[in-house]
């Protein structure tokens, strides 16, 4: 993908990294294909995950670029929206024609682009990977490209669901890419998806336990998962909240339909 604006935005992002002294650590970049298409599937803990996971791909020879698929609401946001559009990412209208986005992603993969996805479909309030859906697997299998698991940690401290942006100075952000998930043309997508999420969970756990920074006090434990002593919601609470969000969106769409 050749996109001069992407290069400009990356330059601006690097400036922000320096201003806030964010320490971005990239590992596993060698698992990304040097050329050709591929699907990169990552956990989702903050609204700027796409920036950091996409930035990490530049470590690979040739400085690979990711085109992320994300819900249209992210494109409508005043902060993330301009970045998403400028970098050529792909908007998914979950309440409308999702086939158009899938077609655009498939064309990108077959043209040799890397496409990023968040299988969970939403930011996890628990900061733990949720069950997710097999969309990333199906895309990779349909296009016959590598399926690469990825993990990110630390971005929730900067901008996440339910909290105002808090660009914590000196925050560490870790990004890791894993070995491609094996599959064949006749593999069961649901089984491949389970192996994908298992790999993502293992990498997230590794990043969490090796993270070099700790909360600065009791009021700062919100960004740690409950099982690590933090005050973030449990996975069960996060799932319930996600279902409630989905129900509210459906009701809002019905209301808008009745008024139109």
pLDDT of residue 3: 66
Instruction: Give me the mean pLDDT over the 189-216 stretch.
Output: 98
Instruction: Give me the mean pLDDT over the 131-139 stretch.
Output: 95
* Dihedral angle computed from the Cα positions of residues 28, 30, 35 and 37, in that order, rounded to the nearest 10 degrees: -30
pLDDT of residue 260: 63
Q: Is the pLDDT score of 72 beyond 90?
A: no
DSSP assignment of 15-29: HHHHHHT-EEEEE-G
pLDDT of residue 86: 76
Instruction: Give me the mean pLDDT over the 228-235 stretch.
Output: 96
**Cβ atoms within 10 Å of 134's Cβ, excluding its own:** 20
Instruction: Quote the mean pLDDT of the chain.
Output: 91
Q: Is the pLDDT score of 1 beyond 60?
A: no
pLDDT of residue 181: 98
pTM: 0.90
Q: Is the pLDDT score of 10 beyond 90?
A: no
Instruction: Give me the mean pLDDT over the 45-74 stretch.
Output: 88
Q: What are the residue ranges spanned by the domains of the chain? A: 4-259
Domain 4-259: which CATH number of 3.80.10, 2.50.20, 1.10.260, 3.40.1130: 3.40.1130
Q: Phi/psi class of residue 138: alpha, beta or left (left: φ > 0; alpha: ψ in -120 to 50)?
A: alpha
Q: Is the pLDDT score of 96 beyond 80?
A: no
- pLDDT confidence tier of residue 24, bands split at 50, 70 and 90: very high
- Exposure string for 153-179, b = 16+ CB within 10 A, e = fewer: bbbbbbbbbeeeeeebeebbbbbbbbe
Q: Is the pLDDT score of 60 beyond 70?
A: yes
Q: Is the pLDDT score of 196 beyond 80?
A: yes
More confident residue, 7 or 110: 110
- pLDDT confidence tier of residue 240, bands split at 50, 70 and 90: very high
Q: Is the pLDDT score of 247 beyond 70?
A: yes
More confident residue, 9 or 157: 157
* Residue listed under structure tokens 């993969």: 109
* Residue listed under structure tokens 């434990």: 221
């Amino acid at each position: 993908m050749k996109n001069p604006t992407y290069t400009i935005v990356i330059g601006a992002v690097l400036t922000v990294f320096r201003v806030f002294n964010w320490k971005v650590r990239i590992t596993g970049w060698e698992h990304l294909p040097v050329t050709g298409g591929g699907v990169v599937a990552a956990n989702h803990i903050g609204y700027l995950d796409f920036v950091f996971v996409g930035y990490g791909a530049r470590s690979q020879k040739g400085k690979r670029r990711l085109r992320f698929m994300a819900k249209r609401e992210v494109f409508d946001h005043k902060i993330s929206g301009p970045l998403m559009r400028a970098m050529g990412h792909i908007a998914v209208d979950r309440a409308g024609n999702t086939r158009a986005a899938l077609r655009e992603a498939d064309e990108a993969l077959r043209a040799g682009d890397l496409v990023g996805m968040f299988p969970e479909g939403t930011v996890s309030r628990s900061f733990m990977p949720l069950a997710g859906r097999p969309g990333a697997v199906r895309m990779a299998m349909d296009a016959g490209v590598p399926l690469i698991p990825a993990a990110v940690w630390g971005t929730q401290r900067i901008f996440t669901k339910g909290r105002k942006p808090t660009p914590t100075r000196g925050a560490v952000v870790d990004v890791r890419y894993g070995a491609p998930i094996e599959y064949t043309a006749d593999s069961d997508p649901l089984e491949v998806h389970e192996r994908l999420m298992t790999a993502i969970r293992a990498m997230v756990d590794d990043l969490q336990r090796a993270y070099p920074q700790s909360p600065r006090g009791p009021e700062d434990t919100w960004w740690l998962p409950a099982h690590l002593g933090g005050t973030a919601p449990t996975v069960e609470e996060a799932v319930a909240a996600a279902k409630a969000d989905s129900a509210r969106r459906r009701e809002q769409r019905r209301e808008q339909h009745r008024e139109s």
